[in-house]
Structure 1
Amino acid sequence: MSAVAAASCGSEGAGEARTEKKPLKPCCACPETKKARDACIIEKGEENCGHLIEAHKECMRALGFKI
């Protein structure tokens, strides 16, 4: 599953795995980065998870969401 997440977050090769520019709902986009971000925030607090928050934002932007 991590290979799919990497492909959907990268700018190259994403067209093969996903024919749409973005999912219908933002809640379903980038599940791997979202899961890691949420777990970190719960365990360590938002102030200690900036790198994961930014990684999720970048993944969302790569899929066409304006964040």
Structure 2
Amino acid sequence: MSTLSAATCDTTPALETSDTVETPKPCSECPETKKAMDACIIEKGEESCTDLIEAHKECMRALGFKI
């Protein structure tokens, strides 16, 4: 199982692309969960923030990203 860290921004979206639809960029999606997760990781360390990391992963999955 992979973990999502504050520096992870290279996830490829699972969305199909077309000429008229913009593909979302993983670093700009789910800003609320990302901000909370990043702050927690910086202050407490990744092992203390598993609930926030999982919440961010769930948000990203809901947008079609494979995480």
**Shorter-chain TM-score: which interval?**
0.5 to 0.7
Q: TM-score, normalised by structure 2?
A: 0.65
Q: TM-score, normalised by structure 1?
A: 0.65
1:34 shift after superposition: 0.2
Give me the CA root mean square deviation.
Answer: 1.7
In structure 1, the residue matched to 2:41 is 41
Mapped partners of 1:52, 1:31: distance in 2: 12
More helix by share: 1
Structure 1 residue ranges (4+ consecutive) displaced by more than 4 angstroms after TM superposition: none
Count residues with an aligned counterpart: 47
Q: Which structure 1 segments of 5+ residues have no match?
A: 1-19
Mapped partners of 2:26, 2:40: distance in 1: 20
